[in-house]
Amino acid sequence: MRSIISMLLAASVLSTPAMAQGAWTGGDGAPTNPLACDGAAAAASPGEYNGGTPTGAPDRANKPITVVDIPKLVGAGYFASTAQGIAEAAKETGNMTVTTDGPTQANIDQQITFIDNYVTSGVDGILFAANDPVAIAPVLKRALEAGINVVGYDADAEPDARQWFVNQAEPNGVAKSMLDQLASEIGEEGSFAIVTSTFTTPNQARWISEMQAYAEKCHPKLKFLETVEAQEDNILSFNQAQTLINKYGDELKGILGMTSVATPAASEAVQQNNLCGKVAVVGLALPNAMKPYVNNDCIKSTILWSTVDLGYAAGLVMRAVADGTLKPGDTTFKAGRLGELQVVNQSQILLGAPKVFTKADINDFDF
């Protein structure tokens, strides 16, 4: 059914003039809050806590706990590095054992099965990065009902299905960084397309909605072509970028990569087609994956946060909720070497603003 819907959406995009921003696809349709064109908005009050609460959870304060980390998929560099950060947090606390496990594809049904199995077998805590915010909620609520601590990172679930979510960056901040960088590379009237994971992947769908709103406000002459899905698969991401190159020809000036897989795969497609300097790739990716393309001047930049820090913060949040030291109503969280992080959006802990890596500094980072 979703493939039929995707085909219809794609047909809708192609039948609409490229200038019409209403043709954007891949967003979640929720209200947006675009930042100012010339700077970020002031931090707002986090509001009243809206996360969930474990039922009848035992006293875990300062006691050894067993935690499972279930990302969108295992085997991808992005989640290998978040797992590295979680392991760092576990070592630092000294009383938390963490296992990373999950599907080898970004498949929500498989992810649900993994979580359900761990709820049944019994763990003290579940860390997750959701493939679908709604579909994952029932199994996470079962975990809470079983007295298990539940913390999300990278991609959220419905708030009452977990206690806290470690947000790598505010969606409107990601949108601003991506669109400002894109416009600087392809010009204010350039045409671009998006390669995302799936239309239901929560963080990417939110970023796309915020990008649409920010583009309308701050880069109104950018021309959107279409959004294509590529799971989090390297070969499919390359093939989708290749298809966009073949389909739009000289009209295509830029590709936005919404995943750490899509961005280097699209860069490889640009390089293989001898389009370096003609088609820009702007997206989210690990610096290590993008170094070959940035260092040879094929691609100018990549955007991300420290994925190791994201996992590290998530691990510390899990230990804090188990200890009872992070509570509803808190407005800040002391995150070890990261210092004090802000609580935002009622039950999220914000890692910080995304960073643009360029040839000037990309080799200073190793993740």
What letter represents residue 11's amino acid? A
Tell me if residue 345 falls in helix, strand or coil.
Answer: coil
CB 267 within 8 A of CB 172: no
The single residue listed with the structure tokens 């992070």 is 326
pLDDT given at position 20 = 38
| SS3 (DSSP) at 75 | coil
Please state, in angstroms and rounded to a whole number, the distance separating the CA atoms of residues 332 and 362: 30
pLDDT tens string, the chain, 367 residues long: the values are 333 333 333 333 333 333 334 468 999 999 999 999 986 555 668 999 999 999 999 999 999 999 999 999 999 989 999 999 999 999 999 999 999 999 999 999 999 999 999 999 999 999 999 999 999 999 999 999 999 999 999 999 999 999 999 999 889 999 999 999 999 999 999 999 999 999 989 889 999 999 999 999 999 999 999 999 999 899 999 999 999 999 999 999 999 999 999 999 999 999 999 999 999 999 999 999 999 999 999 999 999 999 999 999 999 999 999 999 999 999 999 999 999 999 999 999 999 888 899 999 999 888 8
Tell me which residue has tokens 């001898």. 274
Question: What counts of helices (H) and strands (E) characterise the chain?
Answer: 10, 14
Q: Which CATH number is 65-168+307-351's, of 3.20.20.120, 3.40.50.2300, 3.90.79.10, 3.40.50.720?
A: 3.40.50.2300
By the 10 Å C-beta count (0-12 exposed, 13-18 middle, 19+ buried), 56 is classed as: exposed
Q: Distance between CA atoms of 273 and 291, rounded to whole angstroms? A: 19
Report how far residue 158's alpha carbon sits from residue 270's, in angstroms, rounded to the nearest whole number.
37
pTM value is 0.78
The segment(s) of the chain belonging to CATH 3.40.50.2300 are: 18-36+170-304, 65-168+307-351
Residue 300 identity: K
User: Which residues have CB under 8 Å from 332's CB, separation 6+?
Assistant: 340, 341, 342, 343
- Taking alpha carbons only, the member of 141, 135, 182 closest to residue 52 is 141
Superfamily of domain 18-36+170-304: Response regulator (3.40.50.2300)
Taking phi first (over 0 means left), then psi (-120 to 50 degrees means alpha), and beta for anything else, what does residue 211 get?
Answer: alpha
What residues pair up with 153 in beta bridges, in sequence order?
Answer: 166
- The answer to whether 259 touches 204, Cβ cutoff 8 Å, is yes
- Given the DSSP bridges, would you call strands 340-344 and 332-334 parallel, antiparallel or unpaired? antiparallel
Bridge partners of residue 157, in order along the sequence: none
- What SS3 state is found at 165? strand
Say how many Å lie between the first and final Cα of the chain, rounded.
38
